[in-house]
């Protein structure tokens, strides 16, 4: 006896699979653009990855502990596809806990177009990030740089005198990202103001 019911096609609907894959690709692309701002918010809230709490830096009533010296190292890198040059003026400084230091970072835009960058910091060991206080830093804001231009970006900081005794070296690293496509309107306005002069 033969079965007159047709056998269902085991292959899935190709159009539906393609739509789902395209949706995943678009979602991943959007997530990639949102990653830097999301990371900053996450680190500000949790203190994760050595992100400093900058509101503590406003309190300037601290004693300098001259009996201790901590070596603070600086590492810079640019994200894949970011064509800027980016480096610290010095690779390390020795600082007493409670002492204010200023370190300059150099950036240059060798391209033929105006660009905007954003840097994301991290501190190692992570425990030290709780005691690193930045009173001024280029990493707080997006950084516009005209085509072919160079700039010097200061970072002012101090280490809380309560930093644990076993921490003798602290490494502060910055990764620079291209934020031109997602630049804030007030940052883009700096290019317009410069071109109008």
Q: How far is CA 7 from CA 3, 11, 16, 46, in A?
A: 9, 12, 21, 56
Collapsing DSSP to helix, strand or coil, 25 comes out as helix
Query: Cα–Cα distance between 44 and 128 in angstroms, integer?
Result: 15
* 101-108 and 85-88 beta bridge pairing: antiparallel
CATH architecture of the domain covering 44-188: Sandwich (2.60)
Collapsing DSSP to helix, strand or coil, 38 comes out as helix
**pLDDT of amino acid 59:** 47
Which has the higher per-residue pLDDT, 54 or 188? 188
Q: How far is CA 149 from CA 77, 85, 89, 155, in A?
A: 19, 11, 17, 20
Query: Cα–Cα distance between 53 and 56 in angstroms, integer?
Result: 6
Cβ(103)–Cβ(154) below 8 Å: yes
Burial of 94 (0-12, 13-18, 19+ CB in 10 A): exposed
Q: Per-residue confidence at 83, pLDDT binned at 50, 70, 90?
A: very high
- pLDDT, tens digit (0-9, with 9 covering 90-100), for 87-146: 999 999 999 999 999 999 999 999 999 999 999 999 999 999 999 999 999 999 999 999
Cβ(158)–Cβ(62) below 8 Å: yes
Place of tokens 């047709």: 6
pTM (two decimals): 0.68
**Residue 56 CB: number of other CB atoms within 10 A?**
14
Here the tokens at position 111 are: 């391209």
Q: Per-residue confidence at 33, pLDDT binned at 50, 70, 90?
A: low
Query: Cα–Cα distance between 107 and 89 in angstroms, integer?
Result: 10
Q: Say which range, 23-27, 76-80, 96-100, 107-111, has the weakest mean pLDDT.
A: 23-27
Residue ranges covered by each domain of the chain = 44-188
């Amino acid at each position: 006896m033969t079965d007159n019911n047709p056998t269902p096609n085991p292959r899935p609907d190709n159009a539906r699979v393609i739509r789902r894959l395209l949706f995943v690709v678009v979602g991943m692309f959007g997530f990639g653009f949102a990653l830097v701002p999301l990371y900053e918010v996450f680190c500000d809230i949790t203190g994760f990855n050595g992100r400093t709490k900058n509101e503590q830096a406003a309190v300037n009533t601290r004693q300098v502990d001259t009996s201790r010296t901590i070596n603070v190292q600086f590492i810079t890198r640019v994200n894949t596809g970011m064509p800027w040059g980016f480096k610290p003026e010095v690779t390390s400084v020795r600082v007493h806990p409670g002492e204010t230091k200023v370190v300059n970072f150099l950036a240059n835009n060798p391209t033929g177009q105006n660009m905007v960058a954003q840097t994301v910091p991290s501190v190692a060991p992570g425990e030290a990030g709780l005691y690193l206080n930045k009173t001024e830093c280029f990493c707080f804001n997006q950084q516009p740089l005209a085509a072919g231009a160079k700039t010097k970006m200061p970072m002012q900081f101090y280490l809380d005198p309560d930093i644990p005794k076993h921490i003798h070296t602290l490494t502060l690293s910055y990764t620079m990202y291209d934020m031109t496509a997602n630049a804030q309107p007030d940052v883009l306005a700096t290019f317009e103001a410069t071109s109008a002069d």
